[in-house]
A = this chain, B = another copy of it.
Amino acid sequence: MMIQGHFFEEGKKLKYGMVGGGPGSFIGPVHRAAIAMNGQAQIVAGSFSPIFEETLMTAKELGISEDRAYKSFEEMAEKEAQRDDGIDFVSITVPNYLHYKVAKAFLEKGINVVCEKPLCFTIEEAEELMDLAAKNDVEFMVTYTYTGYPMVREARELVRKNILGDIRLIIAEYPQGWLAEPIEKEGQTQASWRTDPKYAGISNCVGDIGTHIENLAHFITNLEITSLSARLETFVEGRRLDDNAFILLKYENNASGSYWPSQVAIGNENGLKIRIYGTKGSLEWEQEHPNFLKLSLIGEPLKILSRGNDYLSESAQMYTRLPSGHPEGYFEAFANLYRSFCNKLSAKKTGEKSDELFPTVIDGARGVKFVHDCVKSSNKGGEWIDASFKIGGED
């Protein structure tokens, strides 16, 4: 038994449905497990697979009644929107190239949406989804998981409170090693679709993990990129999309940044790491050791902040489930996003104000824009290009 901890409530459950996540899916069950950890929402509907029998099978396993196992996402959106006890939100865990179509279908019916990243493939689609969400007053979360870690929330608070002073440098990297060999040729599923433009879009490495860097940096610092220079590279022979990239950036406050995503960096597993340097101090966070945050203030010894301690801000504390020293990980981060999202929906239902933090359709759109800018710059030999992002296509 444990020594102390923050209570997290179970309670009136929201109802949700899922598109994707049928037999063989990996990310579908992750979403369901994350939601289950919170005890805030219950799955009641789904269109889990293009093969209806599979949908029925999954529905049965999950205890969903047969009439809410749908043949298509379109049918699901339509019928759930008509029900009095229709779903409060849908979780979209289909392959990337379908995100846009599925999200759009539910948005149009006024159903709240949770969607895997990337939001979609083109800037136009992203703008359309943003517009639809705004017009229909729909909540839309894009699951940039890493923003759910409590120590990332703490990092954000430290920057907000100006503990670091003015930000000068954002140095971030996301090395992985799993694509160092052409495993897509041996039929490894994850590798195959990620390196195929049809399913992955215009970029593999920047699209898959570079955007996580972009989102995390923005989440913590709230700085918008103004220009960037990118080099997308392909090291594995015959591969059709990038597997490594170097991206240099300037931000609105004139800070500089360097992002390095790679999938050919053998020895790295999921090495997302961000360092932020200001005029008064710096911080460092690593995804593989997410319960800790390093803080250096000028002239002082390095401090190692640890999740679950009283010296942390409310922002970190409220997303802590276990006492300090009891490691939380990726699932909890994922669940935290859903917690924020469900809190928001619950507040909205009762008309309460809520300033819950989660990555929205706007963040998703910013990510799409970022990928496009990187590809554009790279195609011009790494030329510096304007990379500002404006909500609502004002640009």
- Quick one: which of B2, B188, B246, B267 contacts A296, CB cutoff 8 A? B267
Q: How far is the CB of A12 from chain B (nearest CB, A)?
A: 7
User: Is there an interface contact between A266 and B244, defined as CB atoms closer than 8 Å?
Assistant: no
Which one of A76-84, A104-112, A254-262, A347-355 contacts B? Answer: A254-262
| A:292-343 near B, CB below 8 Å | 294-306, 308-311, 321-332
Residues in B with CB closer than 8 Å to A321 are 33, 331
User: Is there an interface contact between B208 and A1, defined as CB atoms closer than 8 Å?
Assistant: yes
Q: Knowing A39-B32, A39-B36, A169-B262, say if A63 contacts B13 (CB, 8 Å).
A: yes
Q: Knowing A260-B258, A332-B329, A382-B229, say if A180 contacts B309 (CB, 8 Å).
A: no
A379 at interface, CB cutoff 8 A: no
A279 at interface, CB cutoff 8 A: yes
Which one of A123-131, A281-289, A387-395 contacts B? Answer: A281-289
Nearest residue in B to A324 (C-beta to C-beta)? B269
A197 at interface, CB cutoff 8 A: no
Number of copies: 4
User: Is there an interface contact between A331 and B384, defined as CB atoms closer than 8 Å?
Assistant: no
- Quick one: which of B231, B287, B299, B331 contacts A310, CB cutoff 8 A? B299
- Quick one: which of B208, B262, B266 contacts A280, CB cutoff 8 A? B266
User: Is there an interface contact between A330 and B324, defined as CB atoms closer than 8 Å?
Assistant: no
A85 at interface, CB cutoff 8 A: no
Residues in B with CB closer than 8 Å to A284 are 267
- Quick one: which of B1, B248, B288, B297 contacts A325, CB cutoff 8 A? B288
A117 at interface, CB cutoff 8 A: yes
Residues in B with CB closer than 8 Å to A38 are 33
Q: How far is the CB of A54 from chain B (nearest CB, A)?
A: 13
Q: How far is the CB of A27 from chain B (nearest CB, A)?
A: 6
Number of interface residues of A (CB under 8 A): 106
Residue of A267, A305, A330 most packed against chain B (CB within 10 A): A267
Nearest residue in B to A96 (C-beta to C-beta)? B1
A14 at interface, CB cutoff 8 A: no
A238 at interface, CB cutoff 8 A: no
Residues in B with CB closer than 8 Å to A327 are 287-290, 327-330
Question: Please, what's the 1-or-0 string for A1-38, where 1 marks a CB less than 8 Å from any CB in chain B?
Answer: 11111011011110000000000101101101100111
User: Is there an interface contact between A325 and B39, defined as CB atoms closer than 8 Å?
Assistant: no
User: Is there an interface contact between B310 and A301, defined as CB atoms closer than 8 Å?
Assistant: no
A148 at interface, CB cutoff 8 A: no
| A:203-260 near B, CB below 8 Å | 208, 229, 231, 233, 235, 244, 246, 248, 256, 258, 260
Question: What is A's interface to B at a CB cutoff of 8 Å?
Answer: 1-5, 7-8, 10-13, 24, 26-27, 29-30, 32-33, 36-39, 42, 61-63, 96, 116-117, 168-169, 171, 173, 175-178, 180-181, 188, 190, 208, 229, 231, 233, 235, 244, 246, 248, 256, 258, 260, 262, 264-271, 275, 277-282, 284, 287-291, 294-306, 308-311, 321-332, 381-382, 384
Closest 4 pairs (CB-CB, A-B): A267-B296, A270-B325, A269-B325, A327-B329
Residue pairs across A and B with Cβ atoms less than 8 A apart, 24 shown, are A1-B117, A2-B190, A7-B26, A10-B32, A13-B63, A33-B321, A169-B235, A177-B296, A180-B298, A181-B298, A246-B256, A248-B248, A264-B277, A266-B278, A267-B294, A267-B302, A268-B282, A269-B325, A271-B325, A290-B327, A301-B305, A326-B330, A328-B331, A329-B331
